Amino acid sequence: MKDALRGKTAVVTGGTRGIGRAIALEFAERGADLLLTYRGNEAAAEECRRLLSAYDVRAEFLRGDAADPAHAEAALARAKEAFGHADILVNNAGITRDKLLLRMSAADFDEIIRADLSGAFYMTRAFAPLMTKRRAGRIVNIASVVGLRGNPGQVNYAAAKAGLIGMTLATAKELGSRGITVNAVAPGYIATDMTEGLPAAQKAAMTEAISLKRAGTPTDVAKAVAFFASDDASYITGQVLCVDGGIIL
């Protein structure tokens, strides 16, 4: 699969940590140039820059808040300036603010919707015209099995990810005639910084519920994203691929 994406440019939001970083490295392995956005962790961005320096690709970085529509326009401008185009958009940026419903404030709910759902809308709206002009493009949204099955303490996150799945289906129908595919990858329990802080008992219970009896890795998710971004998936759109080890069964 080396060089399978050579000559392509990929934009990955939240691209310097966890799943986003794994996606960036998988794309770099396949030869894609990169624009990675991140919210504010400069140390993570520098580490990602160091890792990507081992590959024969160009990597640009842009700091900004995915919940701000101006950030999407800034990302579009940077992609045009650096590469002239964007072939792949991965809407990965997201945060969590887990609380039980009766303890969840309006701010807790709204913050997740803005970051995890509105941010993907802003980026898709910004980059779709650029892809439309070229009559080609790949958009991959990072959803979650929580958006399909729900999860206690994650009303806000489940709502955002379910909305992202709905947005995937609608945009796939709208953009298909322009040569643009839109798909979603729905990870299950993935071992990342975000899940590392969970109580040991909770992690053990989730692992037990997984058919494969292990947590997934960011690379497991990245390979699924790379498939949707590749020519191998050129006749696949509007699909949701669960990368969850069978937890949703």
Residue 73 burial (10 A CB sphere; 0-12, 13-18, 19+) = middle
Which residue in 10, 20, 203 sits closest to 94, CA to CA?
20
**DSSP SS3 for 240:** strand
Phi, psi angle pair for 240, to nearest 5° = -120, 115
Show which residues are catalytic. Answer: 157
Sequence-distant (6+) residues with CB within 8 A of 115 are: 65, 66, 67, 93, 94, 95, 160
